[in-house]
Every structure is written in C-alpha cells, then in structure tokens.
A and B are shown apart, each in its own frame.
Chain A
Amino acid sequence: MEKKIVLTGIARSKGKAAGEALVNRQRIGWAFNHVGNEDGMVMAPGADTKGKIVTGKIFVYPTTAGSTSGAFSLYYKCKVSNHGPAGLICQEVHYIDINGAIAGEIPAVDKLDQDPITTIKDGDWVEIDAPEVGEKATVTITRKG
C-alpha cells in the first residue's frame, strides 16, 4: 500500500524537485569538507548519512552547521560538478544554505506543519513545489507500504 502525506511550509529558495529522501538528524552543512564537491559524498563525522551520496536526493536535516562556505559549495555541487541534492527540507533553512540554494537553483523549504526529521523517512519519494520565495510551499511524501 502506498501512503501519501502532504505537508505545507515556506519556500526559502524557489523551484520544483522530486527525489528519494535522505534524512540526517544532526545539523550539517554543505561545505566541501562535509559533503564532497567531487562526488556528493557525506563526510561529516557523526552524521547519519556519512558515506552516502546526496546527488539527486531530497536532503532532510534540521539546519546548517559549520562553514559559511556551505553556500558556494552547495552551489558548486548543484551547478558545476553535478553532484548536488535535488532539494532541501529543513526545520529552518539557515541563511548560508538559502544563499547556496538560490545560486544552485534548487528549492529549499522550512517551517513545515510537521517536523520533517521525524515525518520523512529515508527512501520516501518526496516532491517539493515551491513557486515563490517567502510564499507557501508544498511537500508531498510518498511511502511504499
């Protein structure tokens, strides 16, 4: 049985995206030393997703941690090396990640009506529809039963 959950939140970077969810319960940033620019691999010590590849995924995490270079490293993975995530869902999208997501042209959403960290599970199919910055965004979660 397929189960669908629809959440609404606020768009911090606009766009439409769909992909498999990768949930990281710890704060984590996008700097090259946390998620490799050359392969999209999570390297941050102690992260749930350590060793996994973020490329094409909807990455779910509380908020950023670490270097401000997360902004351009996120952009670089999305637009130059093509190892970036497809979209971001946070409890709060930090300014640093907003900056990177806008430049990387991927949607970033926060302030959802349920906590994304507990609601979304690894492997869920997640669609983000975030038409305008600062406006309502929809997150549709599809879980195979």
Chain B
Amino acid sequence: MKAKMKLTTYQQEMLDGKHGEAKQFCMDKLLDFGKAVEATEMVDLVLTLNCCPIYVKDRMEPERLKKLNEYDLGHSPLYDPIFAMKDAHVHDESGTECGNDPYMMQLDKAHEIKGPPNGKPWNFEIPGKGSFKLDKEMVAGFQAGYDKLMEHGWLPWLSCNPYLNTRIPKMGEYAASSESSAACYINTILGARTNREAAINTIYCAYTGCLPKYGSHLDENRAAKCIVELTDEVRDNIKGMADWGALGACIAEKAGNRIMAVLNLPKKMGPGATKNLISCASPGMNDPMLHLMGYTPESPTLEAAFKGNMPKNPERFVVTMEDVIEMYRHLNALSPAPGPEKAKPVDIVIFGCPHATWDEVREVARLVKGKKVKEGVKLWVQTDTPTYYMAQHYGDTKTIEDAGGHIFHQTCIAMSPIRHYPKNTVIATDSFKYVKLGGGFGPKWIYGNPEALVNAAVTGVFTPTARWEYWSKPRKERLESEKERPLYQGDRPMVD
C-alpha cells in the first residue's frame, strides 16, 4: 500500500520493542491490518470490548481439540502467544479500559456444573428431549483465561453493555468494540467512535491502546446515506421489547446496509427500548450507526446527519406497521417452532440479549409476579453485573425466582455450544439478535414480546397476544374491526 502509517513517539516505541515484547507483537499485527485498510494513523482508545479466551495447555491434543472445536468461538489460540510473554499488560500507560463480552456461564456458579441438572443454562434437562451440561474442562479453561486477563489488568466485567455503567465513552472519543450492539450504541447514542471491530484486532488493541484509524472512525463513514421515515401509526404503536427489535430490523433492512437518518421516532425511548432498537446493528448492518433524528448527538439536523453532503432528493424509505408485522413473521419463520399457530410448545424462554437493562428485568418481574413457571420449562433472564445486584437489592430477583425463573450475570447462551442443546429445543425470546444469529444453530426460535413470552413460560405454550391478533390482520380487515372497537380513544392506543 502506498500510504505509510504515521505513528506517535509512544506508538513507534511500542513497535520498536521499548515497552516490551507483548506490545511489540500487537503493534506489528495492527500495522499489518492498517496496511490492508489503507490507514495513515492510529486512534487512541478509551475502551476495548472483547471476548474472554479459553486457556488450556496443549490445545492441539486430539481429545481436547475436539471439545475446543465445539466450545471455542475461535479467539482463544490468538491469546496463547501473548499469554506466553512475561510483560503482557493492558491499561498501564494507555489508560484504555479493557473488558469482555459475556460467555458460557456465571463464574461464581461454576461449581453447579458438577451437580444434577438444575435448570440453568450450564446444566439442564428438557423433558423428553435430553439434557445439556457444560464440559468441566472447558469451564475451567474459561476461568483460567479470565484469571489470566485479570492478572494483565483487564476489568472483570463480562457483559455486552459496559457502555451503560462501566466505561461510558464520550463524544469524540474512540473505542474498539467487537460487540456489535455496543458498537452501534457507542456510535449512535454516545457519539463516540468505534467500528464493529474485527474481533482479532480487539485483542491487539487491548495491549497497545491504539488501532488504525479506519471505517466508522472517519467522518465520511458516519454520514447518513438515506432517510427512513416511520409512519405515525408506527410511532404511536411500538411497544414491547420485541417491537423495538423488529423496528430496528425493519429500519436496517430498508436502508439496505447503509447508514440512515430515522425520522418520526416514538417520543419516549427507555433504556431497554433504545438498546433493542440499536442492537439491529449486528444482524442487520455492517456500519454500526443510525442517525435517530432528534435524539442522537450527531443528528441535530438532516444536513448534519448527512455530514454536509445531503443530496437534493435523498432516497427515502417508509416503515409501516405492516413492515414490523412482516419482520415478526420473517423471524418466526427462520427456524420455525413446530405446533399449532396459536399454541406452540416452548422449552426455554430467554430475555437479555443484549444483556437486559433494569427496566427489562423489572418488566419480566412484573409480568411473572405471583405466577409459576410450568414444570420443565425454563425462564431465564441475562443481565450485566450492576443490574444483577440491583435486581437482587430491589426484590426483582426474588419475584422472578419465586415464580421458578432464574436471573444470571456474565452469561450469554449463544456463547455456549448451543448447537449441542437437545435436538429440537424450542427457545422463545424478544431478542432479534438471537433469532437472526442463532437461527442456524439447531434450536427452533420463537420471537415475541415479553407479555407473550412470560405467558409461554407459565403455560408451556406460546400464544400470540390480542395485540398481535389485531395488528396481524390485513389492513382493511383491521380498519373494519375498528368500527366495532375503536383503536383510539382520545389519543391512547387501545390495543395492548
């Protein structure tokens, strides 16, 4: 490549080995990548978000390799050379906070994989279908990898949401997030800059605190290229976490893998709603950024969202309620669950991908309060560590557990070998990301709103709500039915 990377004195010293073997090794790798993406300088990072490795001795030993092929996402061997270096350390001179996504289990419950099935994601049984238990050696390897990172100065969070409470990048700062939903949130809501960072780079970013400047770091790759407008009907009737996820998916789909300016958004977007809308990024878009007009720091006006390059007639797309309904249908058809349309049996109901915000946890608690989860069915809520303890402190955990559900931190079921869950396990969720990315894993997926999901956990079958019944009718029929039962009374939607 013609362009040569311009380095600061400190970056050059890292490359020359003056700050140790590990930093030199990582700088070398970053420069290789910088060449491929034609970068001319590095950015200084405040945050890297990565994935904790499984650290084992002799990973090529045939029996162990067989297990690793199932459990390792592919990242762990990349840490081996760094772990072998005596001077590997993060954060020291760079001040870059480094941490990791959730992984296969809650580490403080690791002893539970030794016991009988306890209904939790690392050790459970589905009546009539079989059982699943994490492999002890792999869990020990995960713990060893985590311990090693702690020695190196990584922060202990295992969550996809550190931007909410642990390291909140500010406008203009740079981050390297290989967690796509976090990347999209950091760019869109916080106005800091990150790619959906290629997840090999993030390892090297951690140890150097820098990364070639490319992609979403650059103004031109943050500009809106088209407009997506929501109808008033969408604006006024999006409710429920799955609605927000489906809406995000529709927006991403309409824009066809381009950054868009979104007009006519609902007036209030709570933390869960925002997170779910934004998490459309990974399955839906490659450039992790939306301009939510009226909300986001880089989107005060359309002119600003287009970064001064707004064409006279920008391409304009409209999202209708029919689109949102169609997205539900699409998601439910990817790996369809068997059974009658209005009563599909479920095995697992899961909330919290990306990790549930407190308002989401509270909603599950409110819906399940005083009820009992059906025997054999799992109700799981995954969240980050601060929310986990908040829910414990304020009683939400007790409500969920009294009903027979479970709440976890540090975990993501998709980061365990879900491919080896009992055959034909049916999982119901409000996570667009799970259904879209997990569609190939083997389980059957149902996509629905929390109300229908909790009801499914209690009855054992997923039944669409009255609200779905209403909106899924053809428009003409829907409007006919409104004559008998008006949708609006005053300005409040009557269909719940």
List residues of B (192-214) whose CB comes within 8 Å of A's CBs.
Answer: 195-201, 214
Question: Complex formed: what's the CA distance from A34 to B334 in Å?
Answer: 13
Question: Complex formed: what's the CA distance from A36 to B73 in Å?
Answer: 10
Would you call A134 and B1 a contact (CB within 8 A)? yes
List residues of B (248-296) whose CB comes within 8 Å of A's CBs.
Answer: 257, 282-283, 286
Would you call B440 and A44 a contact (CB within 8 A)? yes
Asked if B339 is at the interface (CB within 8 A of a chain A CB), the reply is: no
> In the complex, what's the smallest C-beta–C-beta distance from B88 to chain A, in angstroms?
18
List residues of A (60-81) whose CB comes within 8 Å of B's CBs.
Answer: 63-77, 79-81
Would you call B78 and A102 a contact (CB within 8 A)? no
Asked if A32 is at the interface (CB within 8 A of a chain B CB), the reply is: yes
Asked if B84 is at the interface (CB within 8 A of a chain A CB), the reply is: no
Question: Complex formed: what's the CA distance from A29 to B157 in Å?
Answer: 27
* B side interface size, CB within 8 A: 49
Would you call A96 and B69 a contact (CB within 8 A)? no
Would you call A100 and B198 a contact (CB within 8 A)? yes
Contacts of A74 in B (CB 8 A): 74
Identify which of A13, A64, A67 gathers the most chain B CB atoms within 10 Å of its CB. A67
Contacts of A33 in B (CB 8 A): 414, 419, 437-438, 440-441
Question: Complex formed: what's the CA distance from A44 to B1 in Å?
Answer: 34
Asked if B215 is at the interface (CB within 8 A of a chain A CB), the reply is: yes
Asked if B134 is at the interface (CB within 8 A of a chain A CB), the reply is: no
Would you call A72 and B1 a contact (CB within 8 A)? no
Asked if B150 is at the interface (CB within 8 A of a chain A CB), the reply is: no
Would you call B437 and A66 a contact (CB within 8 A)? yes
Question: Complex formed: what's the CA distance from A68 to B180 in Å?
Answer: 7
Question: Complex formed: what's the CA distance from A100 to B197 in Å?
Answer: 12
Question: Complex formed: what's the CA distance from A63 to B285 in Å?
Answer: 11
Question: Complex formed: what's the CA distance from A77 to B68 in Å?
Answer: 12
Question: Complex formed: what's the CA distance from A121 to B217 in Å?
Answer: 37
Which chain B residue shows the least CB distance to A93?
A: B36
Asked if B127 is at the interface (CB within 8 A of a chain A CB), the reply is: no
Asked if B439 is at the interface (CB within 8 A of a chain A CB), the reply is: yes
Would you call B334 and A46 a contact (CB within 8 A)? yes
Asked if B91 is at the interface (CB within 8 A of a chain A CB), the reply is: no
Identify which of B66, B178, B200 gathers the most chain A CB atoms within 10 Å of its CB. B200
A27, A44, A70, A73: the one contacting B257 at CB < 8 Å is: A27
A34, A72, A95: the one contacting B440 at CB < 8 Å is: A34
Given contacts A66-B282, A69-B51, A75-B78, contact A81 B69 (CB under 8 A): yes
Asked if A23 is at the interface (CB within 8 A of a chain B CB), the reply is: no
Would you call B334 and A31 a contact (CB within 8 A)? no
List residues of B (434-457) whose CB comes within 8 Å of A's CBs.
Answer: 436-441
Asked if A45 is at the interface (CB within 8 A of a chain B CB), the reply is: yes
Asked if A57 is at the interface (CB within 8 A of a chain B CB), the reply is: no
Known: A69-B199, A95-B215, A133-B36. 19 other contacts (CB 8 A): A37-B73, A38-B70, A44-B440, A66-B437, A67-B180, A67-B199, A68-B180, A72-B78, A72-B200, A73-B74, A75-B78, A80-B68, A81-B69, A100-B200, A102-B33, A133-B1, A133-B35, A134-B35, A134-B36
Q: List 20 A-B contacts (CB under 8 A).
A: A31-B437, A33-B414, A33-B438, A38-B69, A42-B440, A43-B419, A43-B441, A44-B440, A66-B282, A67-B199, A71-B199, A72-B75, A74-B74, A75-B200, A81-B65, A94-B286, A95-B198, A102-B36, A134-B2, A134-B35
Q: Return the 3 tightest CB-CB contacts between A and B, nearest first.
A: A76-B74, A43-B440, A99-B198
